[in-house]
Amino acid sequence: MSQGSERPVLAGAGLVGSLLAVFLARRGKAVEVFERRPDMRREQISAGRSINLAISVRGLYALEQVGLEQEALAHAIPMLGRMIHARDGSLAFQAYGKDDSQCIHSISRGLLNRMLLDAAERTGRVRLSFRRRVVGLDLARRELTVEGDDGRTERLEHAVVYGTDGAGSAVRRSVVDARGGTSHEMTLAHGYKELALPAGPDGGWRLERNALHIWPRGDFMLIALPNEDGSFTCTLFLAFDGTPSFATLEAPGAVRTFFREHFGDVEPMLPDLEAQYGGNPTGSMVTVKCSAWHSGDRALLLGDAAHAIVPFFGQGMNCGFEDCVVLDGLDAEGAPRDELFARFEELRRPNADAIADMAVENFVEMRASTADPRFLLEKAIEKRLLAELPADFVSRYALVTFSRAPYRVAYDAGRIASGIVSELAEGLGSAAEVDLGRARALVAARLTPFLRERL
């Protein structure tokens, strides 16, 4: 068995693991990272999961802490709102924020991960070992087992292991067992399939570039995020079984017919739809709620390993990046590691649970309600209140996406805010009819005291 050291060991060099390595190295630690996949900077491999993702304030703040925000933004595309595609091809744009400065950014997952791996290496304190999978963790003995591509295993002593090995975390199993905790993994009945929508003949974007496109169709939906090269990545979210479902699209010609019927405006832009559909994997989505995130001073879970969430609030990575910021802040206070880990779990778990629930709720909103007149009226009223009462009214979306307020606070404040909007919407035909005096009074009575107490 290899001799251990005080070197922290990280299992997984995805988005969160590679960022955590940078933070730990900046605190003077020599870090050992094991990643099961090949080095994506040297070999053409998929970065896993989605091709691109939305990064917002929490994620950008984390990157800013390690000096990478501007580099990331240079390759990102601002998305100022949702572009809703109705069945008849008509478009409706819903801005995300009160002005264009409040936007989210579409960024390539591969590019961001490579950027973070480079940054980790540049610290001079991080050793990255690829094609090395963590297959066992005996916390009582402080023993880690790592398997290479050739099947050979090596056992190492360790002082501390950080589980950044994603939703299917091997580290999580050991941590939960050691603490006698529980881990609930809830897989959604819907899956997802990515499809590339190529750039136009002139190399430009064939849909509005600065928007997140949504084709809400009740029980299923298509979305599209822009890429730097003029293409879009579309994602079809659809049930695995039932009608329609991934199962019913197996029949010859079914995919083309389905797209023509439900996403008529985009279907002609996907000439190789059948080939892509057949060639690209169908992914599943899981929410992980786990009652034990650390084991004494020996192991800690971060990112999806601790709290995988479904992607409908665009917050999984943002939340994982925020984990790194919070841990680094606690680290700076210099508490013993077991106290630090316990404090981290205590601070982060309620927030992770809150964003997990909001992400599930947002799925319903995205696929169904975005096309519903009552929903559109309430969104318009919400927008009006954000504009007219900028110092007092906040929406859940704004708190989650454009602030670093704890997710738990965003969840509860969002409930209060949407209750107010819903009350104001009763009997109205348009947002222009809102009684602003009443709105002010409701906000002052319910939302302001709550936020004053929590923030």
Q: Which residues in this chain contact ligand FAD in the complex, by CB under 6 A?
A: 11-17, 34-37, 48-50, 53-54, 133-134, 164-166, 170, 192, 235, 283, 285, 303-305, 311, 314-318, 320
Instruction: Write down the least CB distance from residue 104 to ligand FAD, Å.
Output: 8
Instruction: Write down the least CB distance from residue 136 to ligand FAD, Å.
Output: 10
Instruction: Write down the least CB distance from residue 347 to ligand FAD, Å.
Output: 18
Q: What is the 3-state secondary structure (H, E, C) of 91-116?
A: EEEEECCCCCCCCEEEEEHHHHHHHH
Instruction: Write down the least CB distance from residue 163 to ligand FAD, Å.
Output: 9
- Rounded to 5 degrees, φ, ψ at 296 are 50, -130
Instruction: Write down the least CB distance from residue 117 to ligand FAD, Å.
Output: 10
- Measured from each CB, the residue nearest to ligand FAD is 14
Beta carbon nearer to ligand FAD, 54 or 443: 54
Strand duo 299-301 + 161-163: pairing:
parallel
Beta carbon nearer to ligand FAD, 123 or 318: 318
Beta carbon nearer to ligand FAD, 246 or 393: 246
Beta carbon nearer to ligand FAD, 320 or 414: 320
Instruction: Write down the least CB distance from residue 368 to ligand FAD, Å.
Output: 19
Instruction: Write down the least CB distance from residue 46 to ligand FAD, Å.
Output: 11
Distance CA 328, CA 323 (A): 8
Instruction: Write down the least CB distance from residue 5 to ligand FAD, Å.
Output: 19
Q: Is the Cβ–Cβ distance between 352 and 306 less than 8 Å? A: yes
Beta carbon nearer to ligand FAD, 49 or 213: 49
For the chain, helix, strand, coil in percent to 5 are 45, 25, 35
- Rounded to 5 degrees, φ, ψ at 264 are -60, -35
Beta carbon nearer to ligand FAD, 36 or 367: 36
Q: From edge to edge, which strands make up the β-sheet containing 77-79?
A: 52-55, 104-108, 77-79
Rg (CA), the chain: 23
Helices (H), 168-299: 170-179, 254-262, 273-279
Strand duo 52-55 + 126-129: pairing:
unpaired
Q: Which residues contact 365 (CB under 8 A, 6 or more apart)?
A: 312, 375
Q: Beta strands of 217-302 (E only): which ranges?
A: 221-226, 232-239, 282-290, 294-295, 299-301
- Rounded to 5 degrees, φ, ψ at 312 are -80, 0
Beta carbon nearer to ligand FAD, 155 or 256: 155
Beta carbon nearer to ligand FAD, 12 or 226: 12
Q: Is the Cβ–Cβ distance between 316 and 360 less than 8 Å? A: no
